[in-house]
A and B are shown apart, each in its own frame.
Chain A
Amino acid sequence: MKWLAALPFLALVVGMFFANRTEPYVLGLPFILFWTVLWVVLTSVIMFIVYKTDPVNRGGDRS
């Protein structure tokens, strides 16, 4: 599951070539800004999945 974390990098390196545009507006935001915000939110979601499936995080706090 940790390979999911590569997706935001792809969304930048590949995606920006397609997302660099003002139209269409989504939720009132120009497309490039919507794409940016979408991936910031998805990054949090992806890191949540990574956290939940990472065996290191089982068994509570270790210090």
Chain B
Amino acid sequence: MNSALIVILLFLLLSIYLGLQARRGKTMNLEQWSTGGRSFGTLFVFLLSAGEIYTTFTFLGGSGWAYGKGGPAFYILWYGALAYILSYWMLPAIWRYAKQHNLLSQSDFFVAKYNSPALGVLVSLIGIIAMIPYLVTQLKGLGAIMEIASYGSISSTLAVWIGVIAVTIYVMASGVHGTAWTAVLKDGLVLVVVVFLGIYLPVHYYGGIGQMFHAIDQAKPGYLALPATGNSVYWFISTVLLTALGFYTWPHAFQAVYTAKNEQTFRRNAMVFPLYQLILLFVFFVGFAAILTVKPPLQGSAGDNSLLILSVQTFPKWVVGLIGASGLLCAIVPGSMLLMTSATMISKNLYKVINPKASEESVSRLAHYLVPVVALVALYFTFNGQTIVALLLMGYSLVTQFFPAIVFSFMKRNPITKWGAIFGILAGELVVAYTTITSKTVGLLLPFMPQWVKDLNIGIVAMVINLVVTFAVSAFTRGAGAQARTAINA
């Protein structure tokens, strides 16, 4: 057994231990399990949200983008910062409403706001379709990280199984409490590892960060800025704005909001988060450092492995082990949140709607037993998924379509009705699905438009159609909605 493997396994055992001990002293009813009994302080809420930023996608994808695309990678830093600004006003409102109405899942929010279990079913189904591929990406990343970091002594298949079993055990036992505790370990380790790599590698290979950028610019002129067409400034801006809207519409990010003890937490986090995000800067540095040092150059999606390959090429085994352990934690912390959120939604917003007489205990028990079921589905797609790639690209765009229905519901007089919300979301999702599966861009859809319109993120089209349908249907169904409201108020 090599020392890299020993380090990875130690962190795996430590995370299982932390995940299991998290349940101590708590009665695990569904509210404790899925929202931590709304008792989390600033640090836990912070780390739960951070769990969504530092996933294997950021760890491998962030460096992969810097390596393979250069300047366009910087969009990742922008959208986070803008999303945190929105969070200052959005999250306290969501939290307050969730507490008043005892909400457990994101779908519960739609059910309560629009007084429509049908909307809850729709949102749950879309949420699950978006979350499973997200989970699959985490698992695939986990497999790649562990295989490379263990120098091939653990196959990626075995690594995925080990990771899934570990997560399933502690999610079933502790729910979101387990996620929060393992998130402490994860962010601590990732912070140290990423900052170290981001400074050491440029200095070691180029003599400094400035020298590194100059060398890259000399070898590939213009690579560090945005190109004139394609991933242009127009692409950049539209992508940042869209992804900022989608940041908190992920069901697991939304549900994590419910765990807070009070609403001050979110306003405080909105100050700290943008700075904390700068960890990503160091992830970029690693990707850039790999550009002129990894030989032969990695092609296409293999660029995602640039961080790992450069590390193996540079460091002793135990350091690679620490990097592997960070990658492992980056997969299992968000993975656990995704599993728990999916299970809660299936049980509460699908099963309970079909079977309204089900007792709270049985809904809670079902949610626990659904964890291994969802995990097995994700495993299936991890090992057999070719088509899943199309879904992956879609996930973010799918959940972004929830944004209008969420924001309008906080206006004093909600301008949209439940039918408006239902058909608007459906229309937006259909556009997302069609354009993703047929890989349409704005340029292909509207070839007569000027270049800058062609470069816009295709999600803009889906959002516009969503809004148009939402308002059109709301205008037609307004009467019925108003009557229903008066009936409730009377």
Among residues of B, the one whose C-beta sits closest to the C-beta of A39 is: B81
Bound Cα distance A63, B271 (Å) = 20
**Is there an interface contact between B271 and A51, defined as CB atoms closer than 8 Å?**
yes
**Is there an interface contact between B78 and A12, defined as CB atoms closer than 8 Å?**
yes
Measured as residues with beta carbon below 8 angstroms from the partner, the interface class of chain B is 35 or more
Q: Please classify the interface of chain A as helix (H, G, I), strand (E, B), loop, or mixed, using the class held by over half of its residues.
A: helix
Q: List, in ascending order, chain B residues with CB within 8 A of A47's CB.
A: 84-85, 88, 270-271, 274
**Is there an interface contact between B210 and A25, defined as CB atoms closer than 8 Å?**
yes
Among residues of B, the one whose C-beta sits closest to the C-beta of A11 is: B78
How many residues on chain A are close to B (CB under 8 Å)? Answer: 35
- Whole-angstrom distance between the Cβ of B1 and the nearest chain A Cβ: 41
Is there a chain A Cβ closer than 8 Å to B225's Cβ? yes
Q: List, in ascending order, chain A residues with CB within 8 A of B237's CB.
A: 12-13, 16
**Is there an interface contact between B77 and A41, defined as CB atoms closer than 8 Å?**
no
- Whole-angstrom distance between the Cβ of B278 and the nearest chain A Cβ: 6
**Is there an interface contact between B281 and A37, defined as CB atoms closer than 8 Å?**
yes
- Whole-angstrom distance between the Cβ of A45 and the nearest chain B Cβ: 9
Binds A, one of B176-184, B259-267, B422-430, B439-447: B259-267
Number of A-B contacts (CB under 8 A): 111
Q: Per a CB cutoff under 8 Å, which of B80, B88, B263, B278 touches A5?
A: B88
- Whole-angstrom distance between the Cβ of A61 and the nearest chain B Cβ: 5
Is there a chain A Cβ closer than 8 Å to B136's Cβ? no
Bound Cα distance A51, B78 (Å) = 21
Bound Cα distance A32, B217 (Å) = 13
Bound Cα distance A28, B209 (Å) = 6
Residues A7-63 near B (CB distance < 8 A): 8-9, 12-13, 16-17, 20-22, 25, 27-30, 32-33, 36-37, 39-41, 43-44, 46-48, 50-51, 54, 56-57, 61-63
Q: Per a CB cutoff under 8 Å, which of A32, A41, A61 touches B225?
A: A32
**Is there an interface contact between B264 and A40, defined as CB atoms closer than 8 Å?**
no
Q: List, in ascending order, chain A residues with CB within 8 A of B58's CB.
A: none
Q: A29-B213, A62-B263 are in contact. Are A20 and B226 (CB under 8 A)?
A: yes
**Is there an interface contact between A22 and B217, defined as CB atoms closer than 8 Å?**
yes
Is there a chain A Cβ closer than 8 Å to B272's Cβ? yes
**Is there an interface contact between A51 and B268, defined as CB atoms closer than 8 Å?**
yes
Bound Cα distance A47, B209 (Å) = 29
Q: List, in ascending order, chain B residues with CB within 8 A of A33's CB.
A: 71, 74, 213, 224, 281, 284
**Is there an interface contact between A9 and B82, defined as CB atoms closer than 8 Å?**
yes
Is there a chain A Cβ closer than 8 Å to B26's Cβ? no
Identify 9 new A-B residue pairs, CB closer than 8 A, beyond the known A30-B225, A32-B74, A63-B261.
Answer: A8-B81, A27-B210, A32-B71, A33-B74, A39-B78, A40-B77, A41-B275, A51-B267, A51-B268
- Cβ-closest 5 pairs across A and B: A28-B210, A43-B274, A63-B262, A30-B224, A44-B274
